[in-house]
């Protein structure tokens, strides 16, 4: 995505294509950060991707789709632990990088709340801990469940491991509320981390790269005894579900958390102005190196819970909080060589192989260079001295070349015109920055990467089928397509005789494969690795077509350029032309279509259940919004409708149940009247929705800040 075109020069089609690409790239980095604890780009580079995504969405709001990074948090939980559904979703934060961003955040709040010069507004500033988020559920004062963030809606059950932490109270006392979920960050102090690494080295075991990875790895041990040996700590900063306790402010919550025995960061301060917020930020930044634990910024939160409730949420983040990130750390080292890697979609990615150097306590030796344009724009050549930057615990990015240190006139890097794996021509589609191998499935690298994707946690989620096993089985000729995964039992006896495999491990793998035969439709669709079809798009397709047979028939029609199927796909809210094009290309390939058909015969693909009857007038109804809404944004209105069980569509038809009209409603309103579709004003829609939401909130009493449907109580400490 380097050297992108100015956003104001993008056509709508170009914007749609880039948004789809950004969604896929950001989702991949979210998985590496949240799930694998091994990110491959810097925080600054990740934030730049998100900023461009946000800017394009702001210019083209009609292109915002379900795969948008602003619609999700984190990634799906890993296998090995029982999966836990969060009673209240765990969200993330928008980021600020400059003082101007902080001022804009403050001004937006004042305008929204009609507070002149911030009168009556208190902002709480607290350090942003660089650890692993956890949600601790107490019932009648007793700790009964602990879970990781996971994908924000479903995490991993780590109760037994959390029980080993000394600074996590197991009993809140007799006066505790009926239910309270305490949210915070599991972390490791720097001195404890160094001592632990020394012990690991002495025992001949691999050391951890940094405290965050150490904390994440320690908390995710299947054996709690190992976790108990690790020096983990917990800072509490928020709550999730809450029953039986009334709180009016964030500071009141922190006081209550202290009273229950939790550690609350002592650097947290209340601020009455932007100047005070910046002063706290600078003071904490000055202390950063001496704190003894890692932080990567300061979080600002509106203190008053009443204000928080009025402000509500936008997409994946609250309006009432933001993370002010610290600048990335930098260093200088030599770039020894540029090599390339081939991904599952054929993407050719150049990689900088660096002279190893320590940046922020982590030894780094590789950095992605993204694409050919990035290398040319920065004039990066083998042998150059380069400035790299690192934020958090990730592989750095190359910021610039120190041309004054360049020796002689080294030749520019010659980007390959043939795939280094299969010798197929490398092609670069017009308007795209990424070059791709044209070999498709004849390219071993692509086949292997697609197979890795198919068995991965977010797809078929087959335990024991890691990357190395996929590579080994492919090398043996046992795996060539996803169908072969379900034929692997034919090689079970051979596998038992191989070094590193025993009867038990083989039996476990075969059992996991058998379990994966029964999989939800959305996971199968995602596992196929179709370009532009991420997890959210796969869920949309599964929800729309319901079952495998209906979906596969529609896809075969699409392959034959059926205009009706193309139209119905484009009518799915936020489903763009770029996704439809890639679906058509995929199924137009006879080999791909055959693989899908064989998988349908080999698997028991689970249909999507109809939405539960929530008692809402919108349950299982199709809703269309048109015109300019005054009291909420279009995305907010859609979120309300979907939270109440509705399907949101882009066009009006006889199947439409409600059309909600705002100001200057045009042809959609006219068509609704002609077809006799019920029309709601914005206020009528709000009244119907709010009555149901208020009833639900009173019944569950899950949170004091549940303003926007489908969004969460305060959980604002982490951001990718």
List residues with catalytic annotation: 128
CB 178 within 8 A of CB 102: no
Q: Is 4 helix (H, G, I), strand (E, B) or coil?
A: coil
CB 578 within 8 A of CB 63: no
Return the closest-CA partner of residue 47 out of 5, 93, 81: 93
CB 182 within 8 A of CB 236: yes
* Distance, CA of 142 to CA of 144 (rounded, Å): 6
**DSSP letter at 5?**
P
CB 385 within 8 A of CB 334: yes
Name every residue whose Cβ is closer than 8 Å to that of residue 490 and which is 6 or more positions away in sequence.
Answer: none
Sign of CA dihedral 397, 402, 407, 412: positive
Angle, alpha carbons 517-602-459 (nearest 5°): 40
Q: Is 528 helix (H, G, I), strand (E, B) or coil?
A: coil
Q: Which residue has the tokens 């269309």?
A: 624
Burial of 2 (0-12, 13-18, 19+ CB in 10 A): middle
**DSSP letter at 131?**
S
Name every residue whose Cβ is closer than 8 Å to that of residue 270 and which is 6 or more positions away in sequence.
Answer: 122, 123, 124, 125, 251, 303
Return the closest-CA partner of residue 367 out of 28, 18, 45, 130: 45
**DSSP letter at 11?**
-
Strands 622-626 and 647-649: parallel
Residue 144 CB-half CA count within 13 A: 11
* Distance, CA of 574 to CA of 559 (rounded, Å): 21
Return the closest-CA partner of residue 240 out of 698, 711, 699, 720: 711
Q: How many residues does the chain have?
A: 720
* Distance, CA of 625 to CA of 630 (rounded, Å): 13
* Distance, CA of 718 to CA of 136 (rounded, Å): 16
To which H or E segment does residue 399 belong? strand 397-401
* Distance, CA of 676 to CA of 674 (rounded, Å): 6
Q: Is 358 helix (H, G, I), strand (E, B) or coil?
A: strand
Burial of 252 (0-12, 13-18, 19+ CB in 10 A): middle
**DSSP letter at 347?**
B
CB 329 within 8 A of CB 391: yes
Q: Which residue has the tokens 């992605």?
A: 368
* Distance, CA of 288 to CA of 295 (rounded, Å): 7
CB 516 within 8 A of CB 492: no
* Distance, CA of 682 to CA of 633 (rounded, Å): 11
φ, ψ dihedrals at 137, nearest 5°: -100, 125
**DSSP letter at 343?**
-
φ, ψ dihedrals at 300, nearest 5°: -105, 130
Name every residue whose Cβ is closer than 8 Å to that of residue 269 and which is 6 or more positions away in sequence.
Answer: 124, 125, 126, 280
- Give me the residues paired with residue 235 across strands: 185, 263
CB 680 within 8 A of CB 659: yes
Q: Which residue has the tokens 């309270």?
A: 180
């Amino acid at each position: 995505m380097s050297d992108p075109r100015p956003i104001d020069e993008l056509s709508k089609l170009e914007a749609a294509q880039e948004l789809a690409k950004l969604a896929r790239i950001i989702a991949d980095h979210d998985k590496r950060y949240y799930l694998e604890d091994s990110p491959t780009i810097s925080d600054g580079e990740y934030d730049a991707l998100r900023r461009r995504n946000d800017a394009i969405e702001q210019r083209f709001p009609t292109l915002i789709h379900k795969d948008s990074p602003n619609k999700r948090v984190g990634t799906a939980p890993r296998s090995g632990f029982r999966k836990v559904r969060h009673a209240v979703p765990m969200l993330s934060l928008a980021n600020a990088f400059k003082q101007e961003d902080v001022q804009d955040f403050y001004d937006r709040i004042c305008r929204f709340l009609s507070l002149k010069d911030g009168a009556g507004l208190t902002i709480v500033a607290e350090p942003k801990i660089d650890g692993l988020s956890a949600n601790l559920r107490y019932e009648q004062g007793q700790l009964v469940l602990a879970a990781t963030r996971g994908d924000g809606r479903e995490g991993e059950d780590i109760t037994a491991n959390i029980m080993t932490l000394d600074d996590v109270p197991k009993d809140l006392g007799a006066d505790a509320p009926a239910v309270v979920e305490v949210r915070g960050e599991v972390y490791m102090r720097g001195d404890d981390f160094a001592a632990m690494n020394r012990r690991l080295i002495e025992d001949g075991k691999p050391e951890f790269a940094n405290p965050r990875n150490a904390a994440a790895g320690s908390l995710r041990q299947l054996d709690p005894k190992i976790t108990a040996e690790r020096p983990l700590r917990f800072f509490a900063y928020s709550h999730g579900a809450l029953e039986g306790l009334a709180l009016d402010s964030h500071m009141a919550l922190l006081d209550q958390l202290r009273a229950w025995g939790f550690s609350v960061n002592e650097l947290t301060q209340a601020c009455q102005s932007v100047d005070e917020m910046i002063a706290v930020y600078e003071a904490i930044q000055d202390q950063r190196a001496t704190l003894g634990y890692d932080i990567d910024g300061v979080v600002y939160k509106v203190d008053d819970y009443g204000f928080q409730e009025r402000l509500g949420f936008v997409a994946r983040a609250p309006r009432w909080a933001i993370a002010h990130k610290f600048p990335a750390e930098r260093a200088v080292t030599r770039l020894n060589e540029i090599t390339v890697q081939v991904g599952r979609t054929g993407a050719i990615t150049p990689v900088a192989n660096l002279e190893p150097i320590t940046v922020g306590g982590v030894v780094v030796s590789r950095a992605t260079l993204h694409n050919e344009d990035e290398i040319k724009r920065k004039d990066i050549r083998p042998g150059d001295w380069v400035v790299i930057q690192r934020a958090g615990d990730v592989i750095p990015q190359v910021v610039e070349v120190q041309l004054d240190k360049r020796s002689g006139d080294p030749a520019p890097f010659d980007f390959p015109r043939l795939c280094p794996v299969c010798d197929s021509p490398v092609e670069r589609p017009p308007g795209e920055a990424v070059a791709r191998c044209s070999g498709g499935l004849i390219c071993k690298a692509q086949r292997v990467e697609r197979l890795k994707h198919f068995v991965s946690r977010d797809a078929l989620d087959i335990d024991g089928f890691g990357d190395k096993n996929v590579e080994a089985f492919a090398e043996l000729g046992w795996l060539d397509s996803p169908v072969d995964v379900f034929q692997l039992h034919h090689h079970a006896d051979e596998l038992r005789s191989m070094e590193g495999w025993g009867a038990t491990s083989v039996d476990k793998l075969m059992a996991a494969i058998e379990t994966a035969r029964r999989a939800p439709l959305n996971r199968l669709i995602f596992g196929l690795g179709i370009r532009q079809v991420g997890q959210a798009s796969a869920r949309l397709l599964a929800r729309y077509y319901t079952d495998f047979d209906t979906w596969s028939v529609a896809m075969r029609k699409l392959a034959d350029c059926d205009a009706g199927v193309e139209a119905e796909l484009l009518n799915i809210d936020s489903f763009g032309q770029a996704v439809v094009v890639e679906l058509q290309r995929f199924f137009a390939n006879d080999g791909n279509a055959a693989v899908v058909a064989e998988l349908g015969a080999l698997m028991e693909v689970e249909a999507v259940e109809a939405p539960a009857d929530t008692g809402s007038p919108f349950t299982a109804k199709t809703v269309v919004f048109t015109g300019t809404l005054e009291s909420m944004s279009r995305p907010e209105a859609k979120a309300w409708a979907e939270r109440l069980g509705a399907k949101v569509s882009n066009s009006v038809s006889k199947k439409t149940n409600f059309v909600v009209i705002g100001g200057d409603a045009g042809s959609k309103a006219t068509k609704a009247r002609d077809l006799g579709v019920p029309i709601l004003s914005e206020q009528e829609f709000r009244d119907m929705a709010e009555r149901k939401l208020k009833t639900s909130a009173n019944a569950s009493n899950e949170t004091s800040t549940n303003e926007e449907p489908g969004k969460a109580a305060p959980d604002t400490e982490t951001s990718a």
